[in-house]
Amino acid sequence: MSPTHRSIVVLGEAGVGKTCFLDMFVNGHHFIRHDGNWMFPSPGFASTQRQLTIDSNPYLITMLDLSLTPMRTQEEGFRSDIFEKQLLDSHGVVFLYDVTDKRSYDLITEHAYTLTYLSRRSETYAGKPWPSGRQRFGCVLVGNKADITAKHPEKREVSKGKAGEWASMHGWKSYEVSCYVREELEEVVRGLVESSKKAERRDAEDLQISVEERWREVEGWDMWGKRIEPWGEFEGVGGKEGGEKVERKIEGKKDKKKDKKGLGVSFSKLRDALPRIRVKNKAPTQ
């Protein structure tokens, strides 16, 4: 069985442990040299890909880390289109913050989510708007450096409950990890793959609902039960074949309307041609 590919972006401010997260998950240790070509890494550089089995299914995970610091500090030379391209093509995003740094958490919850959402596609490959406004993406909220707070609780600035509440509000899972423990990072990635699959299912369901709504329009009724005129162009999940079926359905309904109209006229002429019959009132029976 060939593995299913999943592209993941680890997003967070500088210093929260993004590269450590990538290094430990992919290679099992830190401080690794990477080059920019993840498809064909040069000799002496480590790969950013790793195969992981999830629910007995193989997945090829490609991981990339992006820093939000340029966005916050507005450093010279920062280009937002780099972020948009990476976030556009990813299946899921790890929102990574430092549990000992509230600012890193605020940057995630106040800016990173909006940036990611606006970077997603607004239309399907067929050129139709996504029913939800943007293409959904998988996501998990992850607090790093839990090992520090375990030894020094006074250094914690972001409570686990607060982070969990924010993630739950968006329908995501939240974790607290140490980037020195590979098993914890694997659990995060499994949760993100699950989230990405859920996002894809919801998008597919939305598109199906959209198709069903258009079928109601073809039938001549809107979603509120009001009579409307059928429309003639359809391009949805069914593609060209689906569109042709709908067109045939529309033409058939038009023909029925013509038949009904013609039948109505013939009855009208027949009624006018018939002699007027008047029934005289009979005298009451004695």
What is the average pLDDT value for the chain, to the nearest integer?
A: 75
Strands 92-98 and 173-176: unpaired
182: three-class secondary structure by DSSP = helix
225: three-class secondary structure by DSSP = coil
Is residue 223 a part of any domain in this protein? no
Is residue 266 a part of any domain in this protein? no
Is residue 234 a part of any domain in this protein? no
Is residue 109 a part of any domain in this protein? yes
64, 48 in Cβ contact below 8 A? yes
Strands 173-176 and 57-67: unpaired
Q: Where are the beta strands (DSSP E) in 13-91?
A: 49-54, 57-67
74 band by pLDDT with thresholds 50, 70 and 90: low
User: How confident is the model over 17-54, as pLDDT tens digits?
Assistant: 999 999 999 988 876 554 544 444 433 334 588 999 99
> CA-CA distance, 268 to 83, in Å (whole number)?
70
Is residue 272 a part of any domain in this protein? no
By residue range, what is the domain housing residue 163?
A: 4-199
Is residue 274 a part of any domain in this protein? no
Is residue 238 a part of any domain in this protein? no
72 band by pLDDT with thresholds 50, 70 and 90: low
Amino acid letter, 96: L
pLDDT value of residue 218 = 54
118, 71 in Cβ contact below 8 A? no
Q: Is the pLDDT of residue 89 over 60?
A: yes
Provide the domain count of the chain.
Answer: 1
Which residues have C-beta within 8 Å of that of residue 221, sequence separation ≥ 6? 227, 228
Q: What is the CATH number of the domain that holds 72?
A: 3.40.50.300
- DSSP category for residue 232: S
Averaged over 223-251, what is the pLDDT?
Answer: 46
Higher-confidence residue of 246 and 142: namely 142
What the block records as the tokens of 116 is 């990611």
pTM here? 0.68
Is residue 79 a part of any domain in this protein? yes
> CA-CA distance, 209 to 1, in Å (whole number)?
32
